[in-house]
Amino acid sequence: MVHRPTEAPAVEAAHLERVFRTRYGTTTAVADLDLTVRSGEIVALLGPNGAGKTTTLRMLTTLLRPTGGKATVAGCDLLGEASAVRAKIGYVAQGGSTDRGLRVREELGQQCRFHGLDRAAAGARASELCELLELADVADRPIGALSGGQQRRVEVALGLAHQPQLIFLDEPTLGLDPPGRRDLREHVRRIRDERGTTVVFSTNLTEEADVLCDRVIVIDQGKKVAEGSPLELKRRIAGDVVTFHADDVDRAREAVLGRGRVREVAAAGEALRVTVDDGENAVGDLAKVLADAGIQFRAVDLHRPTLDDVFFEVTGRSMREG
């Protein structure tokens, strides 16, 4: 099913701020954060450890009061209508929120009853959630006996018990192995595609943001440092790099300088690194320019930037340095 974002934003936050004052000092976890999430989107908050992602999610889900700014979440005012916000959203925190002794179906049923459904309706909803998250085969097992990925899917199902229009997931794949991560991402996408549920998730995995979200908001030291679709960001901020291995790099450099699509040219040893907007299309044009100038090259490769490159470009640090 194709998702069709509607007009009203699911989240609109302006100048959101959270300052923590402890006896050890003052920490500005989130500063002057403007944020828009459109209905039906999957949006990633991407940043290194300590960037302020959890604090942002906890503010947007009413669990933590902002020290500044304002926000509308699911059409309700975050500060003035907190209980209405809570009724419309789901939140899946960083793991460990289930009762490991309970069976999957019991835990889901209890959650649905907590949200006001009667026993029969809660049972039906629990079965539906088991279908959606592919937990039907393990529905009668205790949660503690499930794999890490299955347990995480139970947690996501719990967050969806009251059929929220918007769900917040804090590092949904944390602690999972690569197949578990891939599987959970597919389920998250399916929830949006089949239900139209808006998804906001946090991650410090650039690859996760890249493959899962429609739009990424890059956060560093509590501030938004970049925003856009993964493709836009990679093109706009980092560019594609085409490297030619040529004998006469200086002449090659002269030949490509100033050509259309060329943003930057750097020569190092026998390698000419040409930064362009659209590498796939530029490779042929650049090769022709070099051939026309009579410059031989032995090899050419194209490096597509990753969101790691984007982070480095905007902060001067790698994601891992944090």
Ligand X SMILES: Nc1ncnc2c1ncn2[C@@H]1O[C@H](COP(=O)(O)OP(=O)(O)OP(=O)(O)O)[C@@H](O)[C@H]1O
Q: How far apart are the two ends of the chain, measured CA to CA in Å? A: 38
The interface region with ligand X, picked from 47-55, 182-190, 239-247, 252-260 by CB under 6 A, is 47-55
Encode 17-33: b = buried (16+ Cβ within 10 Å), e = exposed: bbeeeeeeeeebbbbeb
Shortest reach from residue 192's CB to ligand X, in Å: 22
What DSSP character marks residue 219? E
Shortest reach from residue 7's CB to ligand X, in Å: 30
**Cα(256)–Cα(7) distance, rounded to whole angstroms?**
44
Candidate residues 4, 22, 83, 120; the one interacting with ligand X per rule CB under 6 A: 22
Shortest reach from residue 72's CB to ligand X, in Å: 21
Q: Which two tokens stand for residue 193?
A: 């595609």
Shortest reach from residue 71's CB to ligand X, in Å: 16
Based on the shown chain and the rule CB under 6 A, indicate whether residue 315 belongs to the binding site for ligand X. no
- Quick one: which of 138, 144, 141 has its CA closest to 100? 144
Are 93 and 174 spatial neighbours (Cβ–Cβ below 8 Å)? no
How many chain residues are in contact with ligand X, going by CB under 6 A? 13
User: Using CA atoms in the order 286, 289, 293, 294, what is the torsion angle rounded to 10 degrees?
Assistant: 60
Smaller CB separation from ligand X, 152 or 261? 152
Q: Which two tokens stand for residue 241?
A: 């790099």
Based on the shown chain and the rule CB under 6 A, indicate whether residue 47 belongs to the binding site for ligand X. yes
Residue type, 302: L
Are 307 and 209 spatial neighbours (Cβ–Cβ below 8 Å)? yes
Shortest reach from residue 50's CB to ligand X, in Å: 4
Candidate residues 54, 98, 151, 198; the one interacting with ligand X per rule CB under 6 A: 54
The interface region with ligand X, picked from 42-50, 154-162, 244-252, 272-280 by CB under 6 A, is 42-50
Smaller CB separation from ligand X, 55 or 198? 55
The interface region with ligand X, picked from 51-59, 77-85, 106-114, 140-148 by CB under 6 A, is 51-59
Candidate residues 52, 69, 159, 305; the one interacting with ligand X per rule CB under 6 A: 52
Q: Which two tokens stand for residue 91?
A: 């939140």
Candidate residues 13, 29, 73, 225; the one interacting with ligand X per rule CB under 6 A: 29
The interface region with ligand X, picked from 6-14, 20-28, 179-187, 257-265 by CB under 6 A, is 20-28
Based on the shown chain and the rule CB under 6 A, indicate whether residue 31 belongs to the binding site for ligand X. no
**Cα(227)–Cα(46) distance, rounded to whole angstroms?**
10
Residue type, 239: G
**Cα(221)–Cα(102) distance, rounded to whole angstroms?**
39
**Cα(244)–Cα(287) distance, rounded to whole angstroms?**
9
* Interface map 201-230 toward ligand X (x if CB under 6 A): ---x--------------------------
Q: Which residue has the tokens 């040529």?
A: 246
* Interface map 175-204 toward ligand X (x if CB under 6 A): -----------------------------x
Bridge partners, 65 (sequence order) = none
Based on the shown chain and the rule CB under 6 A, indicate whether residue 51 belongs to the binding site for ligand X. yes
Shortest reach from residue 226's CB to ligand X, in Å: 15
Tell me which residues touch ligand X (CB under 6 A): 20, 22, 27, 29, 47, 49-55, 204
